[in-house]
């Protein structure tokens, strides 16, 4: 069923139950009609769980507002190099993860924004485009997961598949639904051989991700009346050498397994002072460091300690980088199916969590990441259908060659 490009057409709230037997654009639009700002994913998680429960080939596990849906297909008969020789030899199927988060950032506050619930469709330059919060980040990718989960059975693919839908990706790391699933149900995740995170990549494979850390550079001073400033010590002024270090810092571009990752070290906030006539006795500069996957977390911490030698550093977020994950046969076959040169992922994504537990993973999904979190977030119909077709072709590739 196609989606009518009538911008004035609105779905009622609450959204209807999910129907997985519709077109990719229609399924994406249905997901967009569920408001699912981080911490409020219960309704969409219920809908996803209910829809998948009608797929007899899937085994479901739910943890709060996160869901694992696994196939448990029997071993492949006659798999070369596995089991006994001759007719009837069997081999375990390779297992692949397809993962995506259900939550979005808060809804736009600009009156008249096209990023609100429910979703809208527009015709732009001869192409149908779907607007709504999460269209890019990342309900288009979730729709691809759901469609494949409903379609692919043991008769269609030689792989076993693990589909992961999780909550609280857009907020503090300690709330992550994927991290919770790994802690509570690791045995259902860690047996995978490869992973695909369906974050927006404009339909191009993006390998690994930069790591990220946030910390405060803190200074201490001595409060005094500003009319007698010489009796105090200005904590804000004490940040001057740290600011100078940032201003002169030259971030590197580092090649890792053939991909060039651009680093960045930037002040993002400064605070200090209590009144207009008081010399501040404390100040803090909030710094964000994005580092390439050639570094471990400990090495990245050591680097910023060297840059800000002599300062007190207070770390509030530490997320490791992930190597590209392109040096496996599964990655090579996915690259062939997509037909485009892989690119680096500059931002941090949950491929890092998969990498930490020994699963090589890449980012690949519909939508332009530059549109994520904007008030005009949107995705084209063509990108949705192409991403689904590419992943389906990849997962069917072994079977098609038989």
Q: Tell me how far CA of residue 370 lies from CA of 19, 289, 291, 346, in angstroms.
A: 29, 20, 20, 12
The answer to whether 132 and 140 are in contact (CB under 8 A) is no
Output the CA angle 306-309-312, nearest 5 degrees. 120
**Residue written as token pair 């409903």:** 150
- Active site residue: 103, 137, 350, 368, which one? 103
- Active site residue: 169, 170, 263, 350, which one? 169
- Decide if 294 is catalytic: no
Q: Tell me how far CA of residue 390 lies from CA of 203, 294, 394, 400, in angstroms.
A: 9, 30, 6, 14
Give Cβ neighbours of residue 174 (< 8 Å, ≥ 6 apart).
none
**Residue written as token pair 């950032």:** 105
- Decide if 169 is catalytic: yes
Q: What are phi and psi of 400, to 5 degrees?
A: -65, -25
Instruction: Report d(CA 374, CA 134) in Å as an integer.
Output: 10
The answer to whether 117 and 133 are in contact (CB under 8 A) is yes
Q: Which residues are catalytic?
A: 103, 169
């Amino acid at each position: 069923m196609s989606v009518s490009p009538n911008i004035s057409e609105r779905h009622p709230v609450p959204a209807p139950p999910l129907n997985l037997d519709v077109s990719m654009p229609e399924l994406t639009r249905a997901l967009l009609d569920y408001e699912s700002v981080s911490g409020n994913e219960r309704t969409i998680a219920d809908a996803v769980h209910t829809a998948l429960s009608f797929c007899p080939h899937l085994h479901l596990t739910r943890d709060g507002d996160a869901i694992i849906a696994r196939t448990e297909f029997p071993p492949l008969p006659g798999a070369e190099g596995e089991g006994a020789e001759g007719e009837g030899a069997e081999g375990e199927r390779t297992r692949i993860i397809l993962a995506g988060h259900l939550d979005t950032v808060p809804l736009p506050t600009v009156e008249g924004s096209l990023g609100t619930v429910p979703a809208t469709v527009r015709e732009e330059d001869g192409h149908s485009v779907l607007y709504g919060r999460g269209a890019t980040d990342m309900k288009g990718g979730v729709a691809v997961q759901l469609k494949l989960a409903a379609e692919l059975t043991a008769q269609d693919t030689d792989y076993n598949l693990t589909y992961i839908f999780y909550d609280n990706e857009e907020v503090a790391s300690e709330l992550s639904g994927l991290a919770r699933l790994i802690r509570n149900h690791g045995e259902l995740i860690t047996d995978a051989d490869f992973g695909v995170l369906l974050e927006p990549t404009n339909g191009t494979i993006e390998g690994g991700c930069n790591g990220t850390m946030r910390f405060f550079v803190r200074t201490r001073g001595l409060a005094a009346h500003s009319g007698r400033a010489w009796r105090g010590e200005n904590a804000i002024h004490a940040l001057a050498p740290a600011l100078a270090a940032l201003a002169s810092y030259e971030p590197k571009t580092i090649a890792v397994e053939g991909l060039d990752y651009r680093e960045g070290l930037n002040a993002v906030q400064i605070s200090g002072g209590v009144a207009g006539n008081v010399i501040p006795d404390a100040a803090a500069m909030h710094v964000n460091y994005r580092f390439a996957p050639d570094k471990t977390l400990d090495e990245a911490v050591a680097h910023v300690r060297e840059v800000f030698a002599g300062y007190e550093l207070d770390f509030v977020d530490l997320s490791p980088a992930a190597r590209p994950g392109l040096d496996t046969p599964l990655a090579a076959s996915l690259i062939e199916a997509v037909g485009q040169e892989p690119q680096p992922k500059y931002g941090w994504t949950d491929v890092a969590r998969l990498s930490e537990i020994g699963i090589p993973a890449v980012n690949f999904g519909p939508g332009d990441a530059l549109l994520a979190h904007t008030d005009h977030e949107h995705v084209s119909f063509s990108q949705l259908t192409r991403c689904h077709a590419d992943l389906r072709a990849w997962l069917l590739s072994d079977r098609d060659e038989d």
